[in-house]
Amino acid sequence: MQSPRHTFDTQLHALEQRLLRMGSFVEEMLEDSVKALVDKDVSLAEEVIRRDDVADELDLDIETSCMHMLALQQPLSKDLRVIGTALKITTDLERIGDYSVDIAKTALELVSEPVIKPLVRIPQMAQATARMVRGALEAFVSRDPDKIEEVVRLDDEVDELNRQVWNMMIQEMQENPSTVSRAAHLILVARYLERIADHAVNVAERVQYMETGVLRQLASSHQML
Amino acid sequence: MPEQASLASRSATLMLPLENSKFEIRGLGVEYDGESALRDVTINLPKQQITALIGPSGCGKSTFLRCLNRMNDLIPSARMLGDIFMDGNSILSSNVDPVELRKRVGMVFQRPNPFPMTIFDNIAYGPRRHGVRSHSMLEQIVEETLKKSALWDEVKDKMRQPALDLSGGQQQRLCIARALAVQPDVLLMDEPSSALDPISTFKIEELMLELKEYYTIIIVTHNMYQASRVADYTGFFLLGELVEFGPTVEIFERPIDSRTDDYVRGRFG
Ligand SMILES: Nc1ncnc2c1ncn2[C@@H]1O[C@H](COP(=O)(O)OP(=O)(O)OP(=O)(O)O)[C@@H](O)[C@H]1O
Ligand SMILES: [Mg+2]
């Protein structure tokens, strides 16, 4: 016979696996949305937009199993913190999916716009942001405080890149008014990436809470520029 | 409300300031026939708050509770070490009358144990023993006590009926009322609702929350959710030791000692 504790541990493990699956799913959405933008790949952008339903479903699944575990197992201490954390993390991941969809939609808008300069900063930002999402999930699995710190450090990098994109686009718009639409869209994309990075920081914060029981803001204020 | 503390800044057994304490317990130990059942317990128990004591069977919770009104005196093999101060005065010293002490520190047990007499006489029993003779005075005490115990409306028309005809939950609230009738400061409860259904349990918990305005309540419970629902502070005992004591939310959300964590997460046994 299996003990209730064993059943619960199995459920907790399954919950972690689901969160990881959802995490890598939205991380891929993020990477593909930026790839679609850079490559002007219409079908990839449409694909990302379609995946949003899957992300929403994963989110709902995770929330449902958290609620069931809360209701039936009434977890305490670390167990309670893990489930509370999962409930928060899944929302952050779902939002990362939403922003990826926003980026994919912007990619579709930009397909017809001429490319003036090849995109450099935005792919860099996307790379750093994806690393943050991955790092936050790795922190969740490994409970490794160094991973949490790395996420926070990368967030500063993303903020800085966002500032640079802003300045460059403003300059571009001033120099060449025909680029206004494209530049404005790219400012938005940078803004979406910066928001995704903030959600990754949220995840890292929750992992820290899960481990220590202390809820503390890791990044200073999340500035727009 | 107990304040929140971070894991790092809280010690496993919190020392409450004396001015908020009803009991100061210093190096308390109990032996039965020379066998140690409780060792070196040092804490302060908060005044007019609910403290829950949790821990596995045999860890010494009831033994600890029985020290607070010297019920262990009634067990010939029991020997107490250390000291307990109530409102600053030792209750273990030889000039303390245990009967007087038990008037101030009432106790309610796991199984409702009303006396085989009427509802009225159950409540009037204590005051009569302590010398109240006037019938109108007794009537007043009985009514007030039953109202305080949220039982008055249910029993006011059957005061002359046998207490044993009441339901288990009502009997338990009657026992609480009986303990309150002699105007104690402290109410000790040893698993007061473990023999009751969820609704009666809920009523007992509701009653505890109302009563803590006037009384210091110490409750032993095997139901951690009961502790988390009603208690301001919680203490965890293991093998005769107080492992952790602190604000209830700390004990159940982020205990410091890994043994507490194991126990509240059901990882023992
Ligand atoms: N009257 C007694 N005589 C001898 N030993 C006793 C007596 N009462 C308790 N003990 C012993 O002291 C230890 C603590 O018992 P205690 O009843 O205080 O535990 P408890 O935490 O209340 O357990 P439970 O949850 O089962 O009520 C146990 O080992 C028990 O056997
Ligand atoms: Mg006991």
User: In angstroms, what CA-CA distances link A25 with A22, A71, B35?
Assistant: 5, 28, 60
Percent of chain A residues past pLDDT 90, beyond the cut: 80
Give the pairing of strands B233-238 and B89-90: unpaired
Please list the residues that pair with B188 across neighbouring strands.
B107, B218
pLDDT (mean) for A134-160: 93
HSE, CB side, 13 Å, CA atoms: give it for residue B69.
Answer: 23
**Chain B neighbours among A 77-106 (CB < 8 Å)?**
77-81
Instruction: Give the pLDDT score at B185.
Output: 96
Distance of CA B220 from the midpoint of ligand 2 (Å): 7
CATH code for the domain defined by B7-113+185-264: 3.40.50.300
pLDDT, position A164? 96
Share of chain B above pLDDT 90, in %: 88
What integer best gives the mean pLDDT of chain A?
92
Instruction: Report yes or no: B260 at the A interface, CB cutoff 8 Å.
Output: yes
Taking all residues of chain B, what is their mean pLDDT, rounded to a whole number? Answer: 93
Say what the pLDDT of residue A187 is. 96
pLDDT given at position A215: 80
Tens digit of pLDDT for each residue in B119-140? 999 999 999 998 999 999 999 9
Question: Which structure tokens are listed for A218?
Answer: 């890791």
pLDDT band at B152 (very low <50, low <70, confident <90, very high): very high
Domain ranges of chain B: 7-113+185-264
Q: Which of B123, B113, B201 is CA-nearest to residue B164?
A: B113
Given a cut of 90, whether residue B170 has pLDDT beyond it is yes
Which among B225, B228, B265 has the least Cβ separation from residue A78? B265
Q: How confident is the model at residue A73, as a pLDDT?
A: 85
- Cβ-Cβ contacts under 8 Å, B265 against chain A: 5, 75-79
The structure's pTM equals: 0.83
Cα B254 to averaged position of ligand 1 atoms, centre (Å): 28
| Residue B62 CA, ligand 1 centroid: distance in Å | 7
In the sheet that B89-90 helps form, which strands lie side by side, from edge to edge? B35-46, B21-32, B78-86, B89-90
**Ligand nearest the Cα atom of residue B41:** 1
Q: How far is A23 from chain B (nearest CA, A)?
A: 26
CATH number of A4-212: 1.20.58.220
Per mean pLDDT, which range of A2-6, B35-39, B65-69 is the poorest? A2-6
Find the ligand nearest to B235 CA: 1
**Is a pLDDT exceeding 50 seen at residue B3?**
no
B2: pLDDT confidence band, cut at 50, 70 and 90? very low
Helix (H) or strand (E) holding A107: helix A77-110
Q: Give the tens place of pLDDT for each residue, A46-99.
A: 999 999 999 999 999 999 999 999 988 889 999 999 999 999 999 999 999 999
CA distance from start to end of chain A: 58
| Pairwise CA distance, residues B124 & B140, whole Å | 10
Ligand 1: nearest atom to the Cα of B222: 25
Residue A116 in this model has a pLDDT that exceeds 80: no
- Say yes or no to pLDDT of B4 above 80: no
Whether B252 sits inside 8 A of A77 (CB atoms) is yes
For residue range B195-247, list pLDDT tens digits in order.
888 888 998 999 999 999 999 999 999 999 999 999 999 999 999 999 999 99
Q: Which atom of ligand 1 is nearest to the CA of B59?
A: 21
**Of residues A44 and B94, which shows the higher confidence score?**
A44
Q: Tell me which residues of chain B, numbers 188 to 247, contact chain A at a CB-CB cutoff of 8 Å.
A: 224-225, 228
Residue nearest to atom 2 of ligand 1 (CA): B32
Task: Give the pLDDT score at B10.
Answer: 76
* Distance in Å, alpha carbon of B204 to nearest chain A alpha carbon: 21
